[in-house]
């Protein structure tokens, strides 16, 4: 991945200024992260619907289905804004914009953070879904026992 960014740095070096590179990379990274979260939600929509639909706990299942895409996009955006361009060597905007290597590194860090947060969001949703399925199985068992008596 580092070679890709170095190629972009070389290719864009004469075409765009550092400030333009900052704007372009900032919005492309954000759009890419949101796009990846949306694509993940679309791919997992059918299995998620199959797991959460049913007669038992229908409102909770509907809530989980509707919250899933928003949860993924929110986590990606939180990861995106968690990366700060300001550090000890770059304490103001003009110093940040002057250093192209710093801009490339921060863009890489944003992409990395978005992928980490997306995986954490998927794992935490899996835990919530597991608890939902466990609660639904317990409720089904209770309803079957109540019907048998």
Whole-number pLDDT of residue 11: 63
In order, the DSSP letters of 117-138 are HHHHHHHHHHHHHHHHHHHHHH
**Which tens digit of pLDDT belongs to each residue from 103-140?**
888 889 999 999 999 999 999 999 999 998 898 888 88
62 SS3 class: helix
d(CA 113, CA 43): 21
Burial (CB count within 10 angstroms: exposed 0-12, middle 13-18, buried 19+), residue 130: exposed
Q: 55-91 burial by CB neighbour count: b if 16+ within 10 A, else e?
A: eebeeebeebeeebbebbbebbbebbeebebeeeebe
Q: Is the pTM of this model over 0.85?
A: no
Q: For residue 14, what is the DSSP state?
A: T
Q: Answer yes or no: is pLDDT of 9 > 70.
A: no
**Which tens digit of pLDDT belongs to each residue from 61-80?**
899 899 999 999 999 999 99
């Amino acid at each position: 991945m580092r070679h890709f960014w170095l190629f972009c740095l070389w290719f864009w070096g004469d075409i765009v200024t550092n400030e333009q590179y900052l704007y372009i990379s900032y919005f492309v990274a954000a759009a890419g992260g949101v796009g990846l979260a949306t694509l993940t939600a679309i791919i997992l929509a059918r299995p998620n619907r199959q797991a959460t639909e049913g007669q038992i706990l229908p409102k909770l299942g509907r809530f989980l289905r509707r919250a899933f895409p928003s949860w993924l996009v929110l986590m990606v955006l939180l990861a995106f804004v968690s990366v700060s361009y300001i550090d000890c060597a770059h304490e103001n905007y003009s110093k940040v914009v002057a250093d192209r290597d710093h801009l490339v590194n921060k863009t890489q860090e944003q992409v990395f953070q978005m992928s980490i947060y997306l995986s954490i969001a998927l794992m935490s949703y899996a835990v919530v879904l597991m608890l939902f399925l466990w609660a639904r199985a317990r409720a089904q068992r209770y309803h079957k026992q109540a019907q048998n008596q």
